[in-house]
Structure 1
Amino acid sequence: MADGGRRRRRAFIGSFTAAGGPGVVTAAVAEQGGALTALSSVDGVLDPSYLALSPDGGTLYAVSETADGAVAAYRVKGGAIELTGPPVRVGSGPTHLSLFDGHVLTANYGSGSVTAVPVRPDGRLAHLPSGVLQHTGSGPHDRRQRAAHAHQVQPDPSGRWAVSVDLGTDSVRVCTLADGRPVLRREIALRPGSGPRHLAFHPDGAHAYVVNELTPTVTVCHWDAAAGSLKPLAETPVLPDAPTADAYPSGIVVAPDGRFLWTATRGEDVLSVFAVEAQGERLRLVGTVPCGGHWPRALAVSDGCLYVANERSGNVTWFAVDPETRLPERAGAIDVPAASCVVFD
């Protein structure tokens, strides 16, 4: 406990065990400056690459990004976590998960699908999924877009819709749940060959930003929560100069006040800072800074700090953010081999 009986804040870090990662790491978060200190780790699930925390903070969910593909639930107990049961099979190569309408949804990159698994009142998972939405289609990139590759799934700010981003089909799908089954309501096409990877919503609930992996850009979109419809408006490069052949954008986060957003680009190993202008409908690249490691896979914002999970250098770096320019300044790092994401309670 912190002073005054308040529980210390925690961070949970995912990693690739196949590349030497420790599994899921629990870390304490310093009240001043946001520094991370490792408390414990659990390696009972293979390749827990992406994590999501329940609203009450009592249960942590993790994908197992393997060929078989699974999702697991951990009970959170102070500075440690423990599995609540065996992982539940979902689809091949799940890369992302989120909580939606009493279910955990997983985006399965390998099988190109979204799977729904019911969540019990105590936070544990049902033994079997309740439904699967299979994505179909392809794109012009010969190696990366031969089939559907769902890369992310998350609820929209209204909580009415689940939105999945598919790198293989250059599209975003909007769905709901019916009797526990994901049901497609709309599919929105993005530019062919862009390779959309992740989407972040603006706090106004009316705009969304899609970071593209195959062409280093961000697509600015208008989001209509009433209709569950996404409208692409413009596309902005994430780098000031022409990208190298080894430049693959990954993470994207929007500042809580909606005035700026950040992206990460692997290979170039930089963070890009954008000012959000024209009431959310235009991005202006302010600058780039080194990510503090190699192969930045995911970003997170917490209490004014920006955190980066650097997969190949095996560390999580954190940055103090200038309140005016929002340019990050590296403030520290913690070693986590094959780090893949970080979430906060």
Structure 2
Amino acid sequence: MFHIWDCLASVNRRNFARTHAGTGTDTTRQERPHAHSVAETVAGGVAIVADLGIDRLVSYRIGPDGSLTRLAESALAPGAGPRHVALHPGGRFVFVMNELDSTVVSLALDEASGRLTVIDSKPTVPAKARDGNHCADIQISPDGRFLYGSNRGHDSISVFSIDQQTGTLALVVYASCGGATPRNLALTPSGRHLFSANQNTDRISIFARDAATGRLADTGRSIDVGTPMCVKIVR
């Protein structure tokens, strides 16, 4: 079961809960539903839930009072383990980082029905590194041209370019995360810098981002903090 408290700015502090059912193929991680993250669409009014436990993206209409009406379930590959969702700023495409099979997926969004259709799927690490790797966070550049995904185990940030017409992905580079276990990423509003929360090295590494190529360059600057797990930029 997952709960959305005061669902995305609902009124009167009302609480709503919805339940998912099912299991996945990985008996150690998918023995029951595991709603890992929620993202609201760019246009607003639709919430997309990544359920790692059942390999599904579940879409809900958000009512004026914050109530949730289920719209659609979109299946991903068995054992994928969808963890985090990111939206293209244009609103047409949705991207998902799959923790268990180390892939990133692009999907087309039908806003009216909440249905998501897979466009493309790419591995986030080289084939020899897939065993022992677990994907974590995903970010889209402010201009919508590049995707960044973190890999725990391979200890890298996968950089992909995004075709603006089709939503397909092309690998740019596997960049070092500057530490170990990059659990979370954050892009500055300008898109000029990316922060990587490297959980097992007690460090948030800071990278400069090339807006033309999407590539990252380690600035040599970092923030020392114990077991960083999440980074948020306050505008």
TM-score (norm 1): 0.63
Out of 53, 59, 71, the position equivalent to 1:174 is 59
Task: Report if aligned partners of 1:248, 1:265 keep a CA contact under 8 Å in 2.
Answer: yes
Write the distance in 2 (CA, Å) between the matches of 1:225 and 1:256: 21
Q: Shift of residue 187 of structure 1?
A: 1.1
- SS at the partner of 2:129? coil
1:327 and 2:215 aligned: yes
Distance change (3 Å), C-alpha of 1:120 and 1:234: closer
Identity of aligned residues (%): 34
Task: Report if aligned partners of 2:110, 2:116 keep a CA contact under 8 Å in 1.
Answer: yes
1:117 and 2:6 aligned: yes
- Greater RCO between the two (CA within 8 Å, min separation 6)? 1
Out of 195, 202, 205, the position equivalent to 1:317 is 205
One-letter code of the match for 1:281? G
Distance change (3 Å), C-alpha of 1:157 and 1:310: same
One-letter code of the match for 2:40? P
One-letter code of the match for 2:21? T
Moved over 6 A (4+): none
Aligned equivalent of 2:182: 296
Write the distance in 2 (CA, Å) between the matches of 1:147 and 1:154: 21
Task: Report if aligned partners of 2:148, 2:158 keep a CA contact under 8 Å in 1.
Answer: yes
Distance change (3 Å), C-alpha of 1:214 and 1:120: closer
Alignment of 1:115-194 (within 5 A): 115-117=4-6, 126=13, 130-178=15-63, 179-194=65-80
Deviations along 1:48-78, whole A, 9 cap, x unmatched? xxxxxxxxxxxxxxxxxxxxxxxxxxxxxxx
Deviations along 1:174-207, whole A, 9 cap, x unmatched? 1123444333221111111111111111111101
Q: Shift of residue 324 of structure 1?
A: 2.2
Gaps of 5+ in 2: none
One-letter code of the match for 2:169? L
Task: Report if aligned partners of 2:151, 2:182 keep a CA contact under 8 Å in 1.
Answer: yes
Q: Shift of residue 235 of structure 1?
A: 1.0
Aligned pair count?
229
Alignment of 1:1-345 (within 5 A): 112-117=1-6, 126=13, 130-178=15-63, 179-277=65-163, 279-302=165-188, 303=190, 304-331=192-219, 332-345=221-234
Deviations along 1:266-325, whole A, 9 cap, x unmatched? 011001110112624211111111101111011111021011111111111110012322
After superposition, the CA RMSD in angstroms is: 1.8
Task: Report if aligned partners of 1:195, 1:212 keep a CA contact under 8 Å in 2.
Answer: yes
Distance change (3 Å), C-alpha of 1:188 and 1:292: same
Task: Report if aligned partners of 2:102, 2:130 keep a CA contact under 8 Å in 1.
Answer: no
Write the distance in 1 (CA, Å) between the matches of 2:194 and 2:112: 32
Task: Report if aligned partners of 2:72, 2:113 keep a CA contact under 8 Å in 1.
Answer: no
One-letter code of the match for 2:25? P
Write the distance in 1 (CA, Å) between the matches of 2:224 and 2:166: 36
Aligned equivalent of 1:84: none
Gaps of 5+ in 1: 1-111
One-letter code of the match for 2:35? A
Q: Shift of residue 225 of structure 1?
A: 1.6
Q: Shift of residue 219 of structure 1?
A: 1.0
Write the distance in 2 (CA, Å) between the matches of 1:256 and 1:180: 28
Q: Shift of residue 115 of structure 1?
A: 2.4
